[in-house]
Amino acid sequence: MLEQANPYLVTGLLLFLSLGAGTLSEKIKFPALILFLAIGMLAGTDGPGGIDFNEFNIVDDIGTFALAFILFGGGFQTKWSDIKPVITQGVVLSTFGVLLTAIFMAIPIAWLDRFSYKDAFLLGAIISSTDAAAVFSILRTQKVGVKGALKPLLEFESGSNDPMAVFLTLTALNWFTSPDIPVYNMIIKLIVQMVCGGLIGLITGNIACRAIQNLKVTNEALYPVWGISIVMSTFGLAEMVQGNGYLAVYVCGIVMGGGDFIYKYSLQRFHEGFAWLMQIIMFLLLGLLVNPKELINFQVISVGLLISFLLMFVARPLAVFICSMFSRFNLNEKIFISWTGLRGAVPIILATYPLSNGHPQARYIFNLIFFVVLTSVLLQGKTLAIAAKLLKLDTWVRAAKSYPLAFDRTPGTGSEETREIDLLPDAAVIGHRVSELKFPDGVTILLINRGSKFLIPKGGTVLEKDDTLLIFGERAKLSEVEKQLMQRD
């Protein structure tokens, strides 16, 4: 029984098993988050681990901390140049789209005998946001990408719609405890939270970039500590001025991701790993909270399947089509956006809020949300690649390589960067020597990954099918080179 074991040993063992599960998910093409949840459930009361864990308040606090770093990491990895063309559509989906999803879910749920209209809106609000990590970890596992502006749109929407879902959930709970709160007060509060949160993120992101550059820390290992302080300070400052902390850290991450400062690459890698750690911890804790015996219940399964159906085939598609009515996306793209509305950790975290607030149906709502998330990830997650192919929106991708070379340029020396470029099987450059490539001045190939080997390119090196090139040069020139290398024969 793990409950009687040393807590440090248990924590280390669960993290080790989760890392193993993540590697396994890549091989069997199965969503990693489901495996993380399964490990938590096996370690819980009804599993062989036997750990009795019901600390919902602790999970709320850890969830807030974890979600802040997950959103910051997502923002840090987002390129402003990618999301700029879709920023308007993304904002509409992450605000108005979330509200519409909650309303379209609440209307039919309110007809069920067990739910009042307030409970129905609370349930709809909890499951109204999508999970970017779930969507793109699944696409990477299945080695499928999506064309055009779909990827940045879905990334931006999923990364920025959590603040709206949190606000709607808290509003619904306040409505439950204080039914006389005027609607216009809620609207004003929402506007204040979004505006203040966005402004704080912009300000702290720009200050952080300048401060890091001027800090002159002699020990490079201390920069991740500086990164942690930025996230916590941004979140705390936004909350202090009645802003939305989640939006603030996401915007701060985007600003810093587009910034120019020393050791930026190292800081990005640290926050990417730290965000993964936060996700693993959250899924393990959420798995521990679940009682599998309560999930295997006719009321949970029947109502959960109904809610999942309404969410996947009614509420999400309606919200997407309304919000994209005047957009440039075609029918196939709108259908794919609708189908990529996967639910992940955030709805389960929000489902713990009613438990902490003493809602009479809190445990039932928590089990329903957990069931809906599992259904969403299993059904939508396993069919994302199929949907992309059927809608003719898929593009060939390969898992990113880990190169034995890191590049952290000195800020202010130009726009040089490194870029990984996979050669398609029918690329026109295959069979040609490196010396035959007509690259612009200042662009060079640093490494070639071929199978399990890394080659230092020479003029006579012949490019082969499935090579991956690590190229260095100015950003604008790299885009030109990438187009040249991606040309088909």
Per the CB < 8 A criterion, the answer to whether 176 and 359 are in contact is yes
User: Residues 237-273: pLDDT tens digits?
Assistant: 999 998 888 889 989 998 998 887 777 777 888 888 8
DSSP code, position 427: B
Q: Are residues 113 and 198 in the same domain?
A: yes
Burial 50-73 (b: 16+ CB within 10 A, else e): ebebeebeebbebbebbbbbbbbb
Q: Are residues 48 and 194 in the same domain?
A: yes
CATH, residue 463: 3.30.70.1450
Q: What is the pLDDT of residue 2?
A: 64
Strand order from edge to edge, sheet including 416-422: 416-422, 468-474, 444-450, 453-455
Per the CB < 8 A criterion, the answer to whether 144 and 385 are in contact is yes
Q: What is the pLDDT of residue 41?
A: 86
Q: CA 249 to CA 236: how far, in whole Å?
A: 10
- Domain assignment of residue 404, yes or no: no
Listed residues 334, 362, 396: the one ending a domain: 396
User: Residues 153-205: pLDDT tens digits?
Assistant: 887 888 788 878 888 888 888 877 766 667 677 778 878 888 999 999 999 99
For the segment 128-138, the average pLDDT, to the nearest whole number, is 70
Q: CA 35 to CA 137: how far, in whole Å?
A: 13
For the segment 117-124, the average pLDDT, to the nearest whole number, is 90
Q: Are residues 447 and 343 in the same domain?
A: no
- Domain assignment of residue 446, yes or no: yes
pLDDT at 92 over 60: yes
Q: Are residues 128 and 229 in the same domain?
A: yes
Q: Taking CA 165 as the corner, what is the angle to CA 162 and CA 171, rounded to the nearest 5 degrees?
A: 140
Which residue, among 349, 269, 78, has the nearest Cα to 277 in the 3D structure?
269
- Domain assignment of residue 225, yes or no: yes
Q: CA 93 to CA 83: how far, in whole Å?
A: 13
Spatial neighbors of 44 by CB under 8 A, at least 6 apart, are: 50, 51, 52, 53, 287, 288, 289, 290, 291, 292
pLDDT at 106 over 90: yes
- Tell me whether residue 477 is exposed, middle or buried, using C-beta atoms within 10 angstroms of its C-beta: 0 to 12, 13 to 18, 19 or more: middle
For the segment 457-483, the average pLDDT, to the nearest whole number, is 84
- Domain assignment of residue 407, yes or no: no
- The tally of domains found in the chain comes to 2
Q: In this predicted model, which residue has the larger pLDDT, 48 or 119? A: 119
Q: What is the pLDDT of residue 77?
A: 79
Q: Are residues 127 and 26 in the same domain?
A: yes
Q: CA 489 to CA 466: how far, in whole Å?
A: 14
Q: CA 108 to CA 126: how far, in whole Å?
A: 15
Q: Are residues 172 and 107 in the same domain?
A: yes
Q: What is the pLDDT of residue 406?
A: 56
User: Residues 437-457: pLDDT tens digits?
Assistant: 888 888 888 888 887 788 888
pLDDT at 223 over 90: no
What band does 228 get if pLDDT is binned at 50, 70 and 90?
very high
What band does 349 get if pLDDT is binned at 50, 70 and 90?
confident
Listed residues 347, 365, 396: the one ending a domain: 396
Q: What is the pLDDT of residue 320?
A: 95
Q: Are residues 213 and 264 in the same domain?
A: yes
Q: What is the pLDDT of residue 193?
A: 86
- Domain assignment of residue 408, yes or no: no
Which range of 1-10, 299-308, 382-391, 436-445 scores highest in mean pLDDT? It is 299-308
Which residue, among 339, 230, 352, 219, has the nearest Cα to 285 in the 3D structure?
352
Q: Are residues 123 and 232 in the same domain?
A: yes
The CB density around residue 412, as the number of other CB atoms within 10 Å, is 9
pTM exceeds 0.85 for this model: no
- Domain assignment of residue 406, yes or no: no
Q: What values do phi and psi take at 387, rounded to 5? A: -60, -45
What band does 318 get if pLDDT is binned at 50, 70 and 90?
very high
pLDDT at 346 over 90: no
Q: What percent of the chain has pLDDT over 90?
A: 19
Q: What is the pLDDT of residue 400?
A: 52
Which residue, among 78, 85, 99, 127, has the nearest Cα to 323 in the 3D structure?
99
> What residues are paired with 394 via a beta bridge?
146
Q: Are residues 373 and 452 in the same domain?
A: no
- Tell me whether residue 435 is exposed, middle or buried, using C-beta atoms within 10 angstroms of its C-beta: 0 to 12, 13 to 18, 19 or more: exposed
Which helix H or strand E contains 341, and what residues bound it? none
Q: Are residues 345 and 424 in the same domain?
A: no
Which helix H or strand E contains 455, and what residues bound it? strand 453-455
- Domain assignment of residue 403, yes or no: no
Q: In this predicted model, which residue has the larger pLDDT, 415 or 240? A: 240
Q: Are residues 296 and 438 in the same domain?
A: no
pLDDT at 401 over 60: no
Q: In this predicted model, which residue has the larger pLDDT, 291 or 371? A: 371
Domain that holds residue 300: 2-396
Between helix 345-356 and helix 56-77 the angle, nearest 10°, is: 150
Q: In this predicted model, which residue has the larger pLDDT, 47 or 386? A: 386
Listed residues 335, 362, 396: the one ending a domain: 396
CATH, residue 6: 1.20.1530.20
Tokens of 88: 């308007």
Q: Are residues 425 and 280 in the same domain?
A: no
User: Residues 33-63: pLDDT tens digits?
Assistant: 778 888 988 888 777 777 877 777 788 788 8
- Domain assignment of residue 409, yes or no: no
